[in-house]
Chains A and B, each alone.
Chain A
Amino acid sequence: GAGVSQSPSNKVTEKGKDVELRCDPISGHTALYWYRQSLGQGLEFLIYFQGNSAPDKSGLPSDRFSAERTGGSVSTLTIQRTQQEDSAVYLCASSGTDYGYTFGSGTRLTVV
């Protein structure tokens, strides 16, 4: 597609359930980022994939969070045993060049 696609756009889940968030980057983009943004806050780095290199997972807040990127394309962010503090907008961005990261519209996660 022409842009970065994220699904679902909204997700309401019960505390303790697992959720999977999906990101389809722009075709051919080798770099992919996940960020989290709480209401009125800045972007919190979660994880970074670059080509076939080992991902930079230094931003994942706990071992309940994991992400994978299959075939250098689609990425899935999984949150296990969700907590209320996980409620946020989860943003994915991709880039094929040194600049101009393109963001998806995000997944708004609400844990009730």
Chain B
Amino acid sequence: GQNIDQPTEMTATEGAIVQINCTYQTSGFNGLFWYQQHAGEAPTFLSYNVLDGLEEKGRFSSFLSRSKGYSYLLLKELQMKDSASYLCAVRDQKVTFGTGTKLQVIP
């Protein structure tokens, strides 16, 4: 089974940087995903990490440490439209999602 832990809510200021952490415990690890979900919409894929290190994609970066069971999503130059829930998901034999972190970006 899996246990995935994320903060429930975060608030950050427009233009700033925010880091959303995710810790997990799994019997077998085969990749970690980050998804963005705006209220009332389906989740959309942001990033995938299977090896240790940082993956950068524009304003968004995702980091993974398999030995620590830890990942973070880094959002730079925050925009109001980044207000959404950010879901961490871990795959062993199947993909299981955490409960998500609701990010509010304020002016």
Task: Indicate which residue in A45, A98, A103 contacts B43 across the interface (CB closer than 8 Å).
Answer: A103
If A99-B48, A100-B48 touch, does A43 touch B43 (CB 8 Å cutoff)?
yes
If A42-B97, A42-B100, A45-B95 touch, does A102 touch B45 (CB 8 Å cutoff)?
yes
If A35-B97, A56-B93, A101-B33 touch, does A91 touch B42 (CB 8 Å cutoff)?
yes
Tell me if A65 is interfacial: C-beta within 8 Å of chain B: no
Give A102 to B45 CA distance when docked, in angstroms: 7
* A contact residues, total (Cβ < 8 Å): 19
Task: Indicate which residue in A48, A104, A105 contacts B94 across the interface (CB closer than 8 Å).
Answer: A48
Contact A45 B99 (CB under 8 A): no
B-side contacts of A45, CB under 8 Å: 94-97
Contacts of A76-112 to chain B: CB distance below 8 A: 91, 98-106
Highest count of chain A CB atoms <10 Å: which of B41, B42, B94, B97: B42
Q: Could you tell me which A residues sit within 8 Å of B by CB distance?
A: 33, 35, 41-43, 45, 48, 56, 58, 91, 98-106
